[in-house]
Structure 1
Amino acid sequence: MRRRTFLAALPATALASPLLGQQQRATPAGPGQGGAPAPEQSLPKKWLAGEPRFVRPDVQAGDRPFGASFASRSAVYGLSGATGTAHPLATQAGIDILKRGGSAVDAAVAINACLGFLEPTSSGIGGDCYAMLWDPKQGKVVGIAGSGESPRALTLDIVRSRAKNGALPPRGAVTVSVPGAVDAWWTLHQRHGKLPWAEVLAPAIALAENGAPVPDIIAWYIRANLAGFVAQGSGVEETANAIRTYGLADGKGPKPGNVFRNPDLARTYRMIAQGGRDAFYNGPIADTIERYFKRIGGWLTRADMAAHHSEWIEPNSTDYRGTTVYALGANTQGIATLQMLNMIEQFDMEGAGFQSPEALHWCVEAKRLAYEDRARYYADPHFSKVPVEWLISKEYAAQRAALIRRDRILTPVYPGKAPSHGDTTYFSTADKDGMMVSMIQSNFRGMGSGLVADGLGFMFQDRGQLFSLKDGHPNIYAPGKRPFQTIIPGFAGKGGRPWMSFGVMGGDMQPQGQTQIIVNRVDYGLEIQSAGDSPRWHHEGSSQSMGEDAPGLPASGLLRLETGVPDRTKAALADLGWTIGEPDGGFGRYECIEHRMDGKDRVYAAASEMRADGCALAY
């Protein structure tokens, strides 16, 4: 397997993308093809100033002397603790908390607070939070759902009056639900924290006050988000606060390496550090939030904030070839990972071979079948009975896997018939006592709704867009209801012990990415770094109750393959009938900590991949 290559060719529609830049004007590829090599005279000779990428299809990365040829680097190892995040400064903050005697939960909360400042394109206290953790005292995995509810004053009739093409708009006050992250932090810390609450938030306060240079990918996404908020017809009621908070000198956002500060967020964090979760949900911050939404014509109130509380939930699990894989139910898409793995287990993945067309075909078909169920059944269990046990059963998986054909694409695809009863951030931490935390937190789509309350320094999530507006659907909008959630932490165990605390960020890519990590590790023996660096696939176009995929896709959807997928695999999948899409950057971002025993020594191995700005550290 050759190491990943730069993108060789793009269709005409992608050539104008600001993310990909102008240097990719190479010969477009045919279906499933790698594309003809660009003429020698047309290849760039240097990285031009201002270009987002330097693309040379004829040049590959250097050779590694050990390990998988496509791995970007080695995992890091430590005896006492580890952290992995999408930003190096957040990773360092987590390590510092652990070294001061903090628990893995203390480190996770500190990291999340730091990322709310450092990586506002994927996280922040205006969003929700989920976590699974290995509790060494109980000897099991436990979960917490920090998912906020819709405003009580926002009725279904009002929501429908704001809908476009049968779905909620992607931005604005109608998409805002109660932010659940801060209460999830507080609830976790009350049970598992060791350091004082204020000390846990201190690193984030210092960063927000003193500032930090913005990494390349985060800078690009901030600018892209701000441009979308101020665009004509965006639906955002008020944008001055967002521009003041994130716009920097030109109002358009930071460029790579620009120093960014957020004194408003530092002040908000100080209030939370001093007053705990009540300062946010039932105090001065909640008062400011209510005044702001009243001013712009929104619906979120202090009463909505005060009524919110996180809940401890029992994770679901399945056995995949001797590995126990865990997933949160509640209102998340977590069990889609379990459904996919249960179906994939019916096929000889090892025999088919790593990155083979057969293996990818089976996995994508399993995704399509699972996501039909996702669109039909997943919802807030406080409002609808979700048939989880049936959906993740081995019997049901065998029935669904029997539909998958080796020589053609399954069309059409329908959800199963249930028995008749009744751009996210991920990070992981581990401590000296054996506790491991898998946490994911998001404002949903990019930075969120576009709305920043006066003087608070954070943006509200647009998670409410994921409600359905279809009568009778379990995920239909209702006041005080939690919307369907895409954010899911991952966890796996072996032999009654923890094995991996991991996650793959990115909307509907998350179950697809988690499944690929498990398959890479279990079926193909990849270690934690190469399992994440391995080229990925991302299928778009499954049925769903919300407007997440682009319209106009083929009946079988669009199968995007990263550049590193072998050309013979791309060609074979195209011959099978898959519509192959060009890489678009939507393949998720992965972090992982692995728990090992070396005799009597506990060893942590940590990995972070090249698709994000972050890193993993251990000590």
Structure 2
Amino acid sequence: MRDFQVPGRSVVFSTNGMCATSHPLAAHAAVDILKRGGNAMDAAIAGAVLLGICEPQMTGIGGDCFVLYSPSGHDDVLAMNGSGKAPAAADATRLRSAGLTAIEQGSPDAVTVPGAMDAFCHLSETVGVLGLDAILQPAIHYAENGVPVAPRVAFDWGNDAPILNPRARESYLVNGAVPKPGQIFRVPGQAEVLRRVAKHGRAAFYTGEIAEDMVNTLTALGGVHTLDDFAATACEATTPVSGNYAGVELVEHPPNGQGATAILMLNILSHFDIADMDPLGAERAHIEAEAAKLAYDTRNRFIADSRHTERLDHMLAPETAAALAALIRQDTAMPAAAPLAESVHKDTIYVTVVDKDRMAVSLIYSVFHGFGSGIATDKFGILFQCRGMGFTLQEGHPNELGGGKRPMHTIIPGMLRENGRVTMPFGVMGGAYQPNGHARLVSNLRDFGMGIQEALDAPRCFSDAGDMKVERGYSDVVRQQLADLGHAVSIPDTAIGGAQAIRITEDGVLEGASDPRKDGCALGY
């Protein structure tokens, strides 16, 4: 039990249904959908689309999503890939010939076709029960009437706004300026888009006037996108990957997502006595950082579009983890992995919902960098993601930019299963941090017996491209000890990631937690 004389959050308990996400309005909308007879998928989609209005720097209908879900009545975990592809005419050779070594954020080459709306429409039709018209109403209402900007959102908005192009500034600034906490933000153009999707389904987004607005905006800037690229967009049901750690099974989305990286990292950590270490000590932070370097280096070599990821079995094999663990020295930090030519960043939203029938949904949804590409469409103001930056321009690499390919993705939903029973949908936001965040959360729960809120609250550290970021929750003594081991230690300007989780207890109670690093909460009924 937490110390009630120290600032903190209690877990939230309920029995009928629950949502945990990064903004209270979205959590409320999702629970309201449950109360109206919707299932967890209806509620998760309603909350996710609304988050594009509440946190527009993080996500929106010009972005991608990944979903893990467990239908009511059994403990299978299903996966839906809602990430879009590069246009058919995308060509790494052309960009290399222009002297580029990486894809630029504000370029139309960074824009892959948005995949989230197709996935939302498909899942609403095949898994949900209320229909698009009902579940999109909360987002339509708030897009039209506005939302008060939350404190963390305002903080991120100020950092991310410089990428916005002139048309995007019209839609994503308030009176020409970054909004302050409490100011009202509206996007009536998106309300109109959502009304049309609510009435006509995915065709309203991927064909006709809305698709023409997206294609015309991109081609005017030199993009190679076509209406055929948008019309051909299709989400894909995939088979999750999983691994075991300390008696729990971690279920992850397969490539092109980076979920296998979290499994590999836990496989490496299993070779050390993490449970005997101080959870906030330098020894644990060091071993975790070294494991992350090795797991991420492996990711950089192998993870790509699923059709081009050929060594996934090797990546997840026990002998691979054992060989990598043997490289870790407890008294010295190894050099950082070679940096990616492709870009990894930190901005996304996450929502998890469990309903009265115990369908569990774990959904993550993003435009990649803050405000994505910074490109908004001319008519409706749809802000495009910059997921094309997830490709590399390295010739012959599995993740090389190519027409019709999906890039390596940083966003990964998670799910835990114990003794075959789904026990916890969860997600950890934070771009590149996400596999490390998944591993840290599982370790907090299993190695140190933390409750789920305590596990999310606990201080974080992350060795990121040679920079050992250590949150202020760690002591200066630990920071010095890490520096003495050879880590280049810094205190990050922004908190590392954010997370939400719902635990399904054996007696049927739902236990929700939401990271204080974000504005959100867990709500149940």
TM-score range, shorter chain: over 0.9
Give the secondary-structure state (helix, strand or coil) at the position aligned to 2:171: helix
| 2:425 aligned residue (491, 501, 515) | 501
Find the partner of 2:396 among 451, 469, 472. 472
2:171 to 245, 250, 254: 245
Secondary structure of the 1:597 match is coil
1:332 aligns with 2:257: yes
- Equivalent residue in structure 2 for 1:282, among 207, 214, 220: 207
Where do 1:152-551 residues align within 5 Å? Answer: 152-161=88-97, 164=100, 166-229=101-164, 239-249=165-175, 251-382=176-307, 384-411=308-335, 423-541=347-465
Aligned amino acid, residue 259 of structure 2: G
Give me the whole-angstrom Cα distance separating, in 2, the residues matched to 1:597 and 1:67: 26
Alpha carbons of structure 1 residues 133 and 67: separation in structure 2 relative to 1, 3 Å: farther
Q: Distance in 2 between matches of 1:225 and 1:573?
A: 31
Using CA pairs below 8 Å that are at least 6 residues apart, which structure has the higher relative contact order? 2
Q: Percent identity?
A: 40
Contact 1:71–1:529 (Cα < 8 Å) also in 2? no
What is the CA deviation profile of residues 84-140 of structure 1, one whole-angstrom value per residue up to 9, with x for unaligned ones? 111110110001001001010000110111011111111101011001111234421
Corresponding letter in the other structure for 1:181: A
Q: Contact conserved, 2:53 with 2:147, CA < 8 A, in 1?
A: no
CA deviation after TM superposition for structure 1 residue 215, in Å: 0.8
Seen in structure 2, the aligned counterparts of structure 1 residues 373 and 592 have a Cα distance that, compared at 3 Å, is: same
Structure 1 counterpart of 2:521, one-letter code: C
Q: State how far apart, in whole Å, the 2-side matches of 1:161 and 1:427 are.
A: 41
Supply the AA of the counterpart residue of 1:197: L
507, 511, 523: which is aligned to 1:605? 511
Structure 1 position 124 matched with structure 2 position 50: no
Q: Following the alignment from structure 2 to structure 1, what is the Cα–Cα distance between the partners of residues 5 and 441?
A: 17
SS at match of 2:31: helix
User: Do 1:506 and 1:586's aligned partners in 2 also have CA atoms closer than 8 Å?
Assistant: no
1:583 maps to which residue? 492
Q: CA deviation at 1:500?
A: 1.3
Structure 1: runs of 5+ lacking an equivalent: 1-64, 230-238, 416-422, 542-556
The two structures, once aligned, show a CA RMSD in angstroms of: 1.8
Shift in Å at residue 386 of structure 1? 2.6
In 2: Cα distance, 1:406 partner to 1:222 partner: 40
Letter matched to residue 83 of structure 2 = S
Letter in 2 for 1:594: R
- Point out the more displaced range, 280-289 or 270-279: 280-289
Tell me whether 1:615 sits opposite 2:515 in the alignment: no
Could you list the runs of 5+ residues in structure 2 that have no partner in the other structure?
Answer: 340-346
Q: CA deviation at 1:163?
A: 5.6
Is the 1:121–1:222 contact (alpha carbons within 8 Å) kept by the matching residues of 2?
Answer: yes
Output one character per residue of 1:512-568: Cα deviation in whole Å (capped at 9) or x when no partner.
111111111110011111101100001111xxxxxxxxxxxxxxx111101111333
Is the Cα–Cα contact under 8 Å of residues 369 and 414 in structure 1 kept in the other structure?
no
Structure 1 or 2, whichever has the larger Rg, is 1
CA distance in 1, matches of 2:5, 2:473: 11
CA contact under 8 A between 1:72 and 1:609: conserved in structure 2? no
Provide the C-alpha distance between the structure 2 equivalents of 1:388 and 1:561, rounded to a whole number of angstroms: 31
1:412-440 Cα offsets, whole Å, 9 max, x none, are 7689xxxxxxx211111110011111110
Q: Deviations over 1:19-75 (max 9, x none)?
A: xxxxxxxxxxxxxxxxxxxxxxxxxxxxxxxxxxxxxxxxxxxxxx83598772101
**Cα–Cα, structure 1 residues 456 and 242, in superposed 2: closer, same or farther, change >3 Å?**
same
TM normalised by structure 2 equals 0.95
Q: How many angstroms apart in 2 are the aligned matches of 1:528 and 1:491?
A: 13
CA distance in 1, matches of 2:136, 2:360: 20
* Cα distance in 1 between the residues matched to 2:27 and 2:337: 42
Match of 1:102, SS state, is coil
Q: TM-score, normalising length from structure 1?
A: 0.81
Residue 86 (structure 1) aligns with: 22
- Residue 471 of structure 2 contacts residue 495 of structure 2 at CA under 8 Å; is this kept in 1? no
Q: One-letter code of the match for 2:160?
A: N
Distance verdict in 2 for CA 1:352–1:220, change over 3 Å: closer
> How far apart, CA to CA, are the structure 1 residues paired with 2:98 and 2:26?
38
Distance 1:459 1:68, change over 3 A: same
User: What corresponds to 1:108 in structure 2?
Assistant: 44
Q: CA deviation at 1:409?
A: 2.0
3-state SS of paired residue (1:443): strand
Counterpart amino acid of 2:362? Answer: S
User: Which residue matches 2:343?
Assistant: none
1:445 CA drift (Å): 0.5
Q: CA deviation at 1:257?
A: 0.8
TM-superposed deviation, 1:291: 2.3
Amino acid at match of 1:270: R
What is the distance in 1 between the residues matched to 2:3 and 2:326?
Answer: 36
Matches within 5 A, 1:12-51: none
Q: Deviations over 1:551-594 (max 9, x none)?
A: xxxxxx11110111133322221221111112221510111111
The offset of 1:154, in angstroms, is 2.8
Question: Is the CA contact (8 Å cut-off) linking 1:162 and 1:168 kept in structure 2?
Answer: no
Once the two structures are TM-superposed, the CA of residue 453 in structure 1 deviates from its matched residue by 0.8
- Whether the aligned pair in 1 keeps the contact of 2:73 and 2:357 (CA below 8 Å) is no
Question: Which letter maps to 1:569?
Answer: V
Given residue 568 of structure 1, which amino acid in structure 2 is its aligned partner?
Answer: V
State whether residues 348 and 364 of structure 2, in contact with CA within 8 Å, keep that contact through their aligned partners in structure 1.
Answer: yes
Q: Distance in 2 between matches of 1:245 and 1:468?
A: 31
**Letter aligned with residue 360 of structure 1:** A
- The offset of 1:187, in angstroms, is 1.8
Rate the CA distance shift 1:68–1:390 in 2: closer, same or farther, 3 A.
Answer: farther
Seen in structure 2, the aligned counterparts of structure 1 residues 470 and 492 have a Cα distance that, compared at 3 Å, is: same
1:16 match: none
1:228 Cα deviation after fit: 3.3
Answer whether contact 2:352 2:363 (CA < 8 A) is retained: yes
Aligned-partner Cα distance in 2 for 1:106–1:518: 28
Which among 458, 463, 469 is matched to residue 560 of structure 1?
469
Give the SS at the match of 1:560. strand
Please state whether the residue corresponding to 1:508 is helix, strand or coil: helix
Cα deviations by residue, 1:465-508 (Å, 9 ceiling, x for unpaired): 11111111111111111111111111111111111111111110
TM superposition shift of 1:352: 1.5
**Alignment partner, residue 149 of structure 1:** 85
Cα pair 1:163 1:169 within 8 Å, conserved: no
Q: Per-residue deviation at 1:214?
A: 0.5
Counterpart of 2:297 in structure 1: which amino acid? E
